[in-house]
Structure 1
């Protein structure tokens, strides 16, 4: 009989311990409304807590009687309850009191000079090369400017918090759409299609762009090619994944010249040397050539033509939503920018023409995306200083 009595006491004690393994309750505010996502944890084990659900309900493993249950939530005073005061069921109604924070009044007054409202940034080719984050890329050189708000690795410019399609790149007076290469499936291009060797001045208008280059609520990047070369130049570069060259040749004085550059990027050596790196990239091959020709007829008249051709192929692995598979893409692009300029005594007359051809094919899973784009652009500008009599 004595053994039976001891056994019954043991069973009831174990049952009480088992029931006490979980403590549950509801967290409410002073109006008895449930508080969602309140933090609930024991002081001895803060990393094994719980959060209240939409109804304020929570359930948390019990520790020991000398512990303390802590409940916290932003905007409310922290609550501490000794573990021995907790009920073993969901009758624990825990009320949090509001903890308002009063802020002193802050008055900000400022006067901005009118000139700063129309502020611009100008970069030369040397500025682009010397920029530590530009990677000798004209469009990437503006990333560290205060007005730049790029949030990805794209060379597409983003100004004043706007998306990249609201900023416009102007090359010798002609807008260049999609001024990037090495595009991925989401159309993010990691490099621009411009060579800094051919750039005279790159002007960034983060706000209030010139009227003649409208259709850009985010801003304007206005690029002008060089107007003269002082000597003939020849350059050759080579690396693990690329070979490039550039040359500048005077034809008649300093103001009539031709510039040519070319690049070939291929992944063969890179993948051979780094066999375990870049597992998602199987191969890539990119070729691009640019030619800038400037012919000066006299001191008041010149013709400039810039032509660019690019071919790129990529083979790798990509993922979208719940699917991961092979991604193949290949593309061709050609564009031409031509300008004829005449200077008069009281102004300047300019004719601009641009042509763009772009073809791209992307194969991803059972999706085949084909796109072709043909576009022409033409404009006539006349500039004069109306303040002069």
Structure 2
């Protein structure tokens, strides 16, 4: 998957960002292959086999723990299809087979022979779970989650390339105008979507990020993910600085067996180590390196502009229980990436070589503990980044050095007034700063070919000390919630503000209805040349879901107003259906429509004018997303596609000479984003198969992917000649083929 360049990709480097990041799916798959199936072996042994599913949805459960009561240390985990193979001594039977899975009631079955068994686990309500890690870490607003994805749903999604953020982008509520992992939710810019990891905000959570923060795929390794909660509207106010929606990634703290995983692909190789630590803790460490020659050789058409690219990243996740009622999670991550490509209007001047380098470090820590009537949580995060980029063809035109730093701290306490009535209250401090030195394009969409760059030395920063509370009441089928969030020190940091939200949810067998609304305040940096921008978003949304044994239907309608330097209105509707035709065949179909009239702004205000002309307009008359997955003992084949209306863009009518220079200034229309690109279509196909190791201790997974099967030329934007008399369309992903394998040892 690749990021769609936007008008804000200064110097014409958006298209190359698009071409460059064709390699993302290969890397993502290499990072997050299917979890292997450990097994034990002994002389004169028997192999117990079977499958584990969800009793209500019939979904295959990955990672369920299976063991004999008489041999609890010899346990295995179910694979992607929910299957298990447990080898035990022949003399072990009869015995009781035990199946455990987080969030489900344990099941026990007496076995007298080695016959295959099929087991369906019953979901267990969260408020009665005995598992410490669940109750302590779940948000108080979990009842209002519109969509929750687990590890299995991420890695088996044919359009997600095993990337958590790309998996969100396949949902009908994702309204991206590009192919990036920077998720737009229900007609708002990606900067208004809060992304949190274990309660800590992660800004710009993508790799190969552009100046505007758009990136190809997320920094989160799917192997670490337990659940991914999606609030496409009215994000819970226990999480700050999210106006349009929220994505909360919760890592898996469960102790797992020792394992080693090596991945080799056309664009990436990686190593993942899973090690039990001490008596109760666990540690996962991973590293990846990316290279280009083979991928470029087999896909020359997809890399016409891209000259070089490479990436190396590594991360570590540590989790440990704190007594019997607490959990500590620590995550550290480092990234080094670079690329070089030809940008600009190639027919007239051969373009300019754009070069990008990025160093980034991230660390988060979360501590949670609970008692019978209360729980507490503390969260801390630190992110550092250094970026250097330039146009090599015209060094005086564009080059920057950027240093960024984000720091976050939060603490909360939740008190249960009664078993069905609770309040969570807390304080948070969120600080961001960015320093920029260098030369930047003089005009939006100038593509680095006309106006001379302007020398700049900028320092942008903002601090958000906030206090918040959320109160929830449960009455049988009904759930009511109300939250507020405000600047805790309005006289010291920024001005005073108050955000609020209200939620009502009705759940009856097979049906769910959720009505939510609120008034939100965010502080974002959509353009590095502008100060941090405060935006107020007022919105209301109605979500519903109907569920039958094989069919699930979801839908929503929403309306919002965004007030900042511009005034924007957005409304839309969406519907999706998932049908489990057979045990092997799964069908998905989604439709959405989001409408947004032209933005209103004061053209005499220079900052408002620049903001209006650099921001996308989310006006998509229609969008269709579909996927088909067929799985069996032979492996899995998936087909996914999207067809949507063309995105709005600003048409430049020509150029005006700049007196005393050979340069031209673009002539903009009176209203930005009033024209539309051609419609978008893309079709992908993938196949994978797992081969068990002869020793029974591990497996090899082989995958093959063909992106953009029809080689559709989807235009992402237009670039212009030096005098703006001619334009050329830059396209998103071309057809690309890649393959790889993953080997697991236990």
Unaligned ranges ≥5, structure 2? 1-140, 422-746
2:328 to 303, 306, 315: 303
8 Å Cα contact 1:332/1:359 also seen in 2: yes
- Mapped partners of 1:208, 1:187: distance in 2: 23
**Quick one: structure 1 residues 256 and 185, their matched pair in 2 at CA, closer, same or farther if it must change by over 3 Å?**
same
- Residue in structure 1 matched with residue 383 of structure 2 by the alignment: 356
Sort the Cα spacing of 1:343 and 1:238 in 2 relative to 1 into closer, same or farther, 3 A: same
Give the Cα separation in 2 of the matches to 1:312 and 1:171.
22
Cα drift, residue 187 of structure 1? 4.2
For 1:277 and 1:189, the matched residues in 2 are separated by 18
SS at match of 1:269: helix
Structure 2 residue aligned with 1:80: none
Alignment of 1:204-215 (within 5 A): 204-215=230-241
Within a 5 Å distance, the mapping from 1:137-216 to structure 2 comes to: 137-184=163-210, 187-216=213-242
Q: TM-score, normalised by structure 2?
A: 0.35
Instruction: State the Cα deviation string for residues 1-33 of structure 1 (Å, max 9, x = none).
Output: xxxxxxxxxxxxxxxxxxxxxxxxxxxxxxxxx
Shift of 1:184: 4.1
Does residue 368 of structure 2 align to residue 341 of structure 1? yes
Q: Matched residue pairs, number?
A: 273
Distance in 1 separating the partners of 2:145 and 2:322: 35
Structure number with bigger Rg: 1
1:41-69: CA deviation from partner (whole Å, max 9, x where unpaired)? xxxxxxxxxxxxxxxxxxxxxxxxxxxxx
Give, in angstroms, the shift of residue 300 of structure 1. 1.6
Separation of aligned partners in 2, 1:248 and 1:136: 19
Q: Structure 1 residue 316: deviation in Å? A: 1.3
2:414 matches 1:387: no
Residues 1:379 and 1:132: Cα distance change in structure 2 (over 3 Å):
same
Question: For the aligned residues, what is the CA RMSD?
Answer: 2.2
Matches within 5 A, 1:62-141: 118-141=144-167
Go from structure 1 to structure 2 and tell me whether the alpha carbon gap of 1:146 and 1:277 turns closer, same or farther (over 3 Å shift). Answer: closer
- Unaligned ranges ≥5, structure 1: 1-114
State whether structure 2 residue 284 is matched by structure 1 residue 259.
Answer: yes
Shift of 1:302: 2.8
Cα pair 2:327 2:369 within 8 Å, conserved: yes
Q: Specify which structure has the bigger relative contact order, considering alpha-carbon pairs within 8 angstroms and separated by 6 or more residues.
A: 2
| Most deviating of 324-333 and 270-279 | 270-279
**TM-aligned CA distance change 1:269 to 1:210, over 3 Å:** same
- Contact 1:353–1:379 (8 Å) recurs in 2: yes
Residue 312 of structure 2 aligns with which residue?
287
Residue 298 of structure 1 aligns to a residue in which SS? coil
- For 1:185 and 1:166, locate their aligned partners in 2 and report how far apart those are by CA, in whole Å: 16
1:240 is displaced (CA, Å) by: 1.9
Matched, 1:234 2:260: yes
Change (3 A) 1:303 1:205: same
Greater per-residue strand proportion: 2
**Conservation of the 8 A alpha-carbon contact between 1:121 and 1:203:** yes
Measured in 2, the distance between the counterparts of 1:315 and 1:274 equals 17
Q: Choose 351-360 or 264-273, whichever is displaced more.
A: 264-273
Question: Partner of 1:220 in structure 2?
Answer: 246
- Deviates further, 168-177 or 224-233: 224-233
Query: In the aligned structure 2, how far is the partner of 1:175 from the partner of 1:168?
Result: 7
1:50-69 correspondence to structure 2 within 5 Å: none
Q: Distance in 2 between the 1:173 and 1:185 partners?
A: 26
TM-aligned CA deviation for residue 185 of structure 1? 5.7
Q: 1:274 to 1:165 in 2, by over 3 A?
A: closer
- Which secondary structure state, in structure 1, belongs to the residue aligned with residue 164 of structure 2? coil
Q: CA deviation at 1:266?
A: 1.0
Q: Displacement of 1:347 after TM fit?
A: 1.4
Shift of 1:320: 6.9
Asked whether the equivalents of residues 118 and 208 of structure 1 are also in contact (C-alpha less than 8 Å), the reply is: no
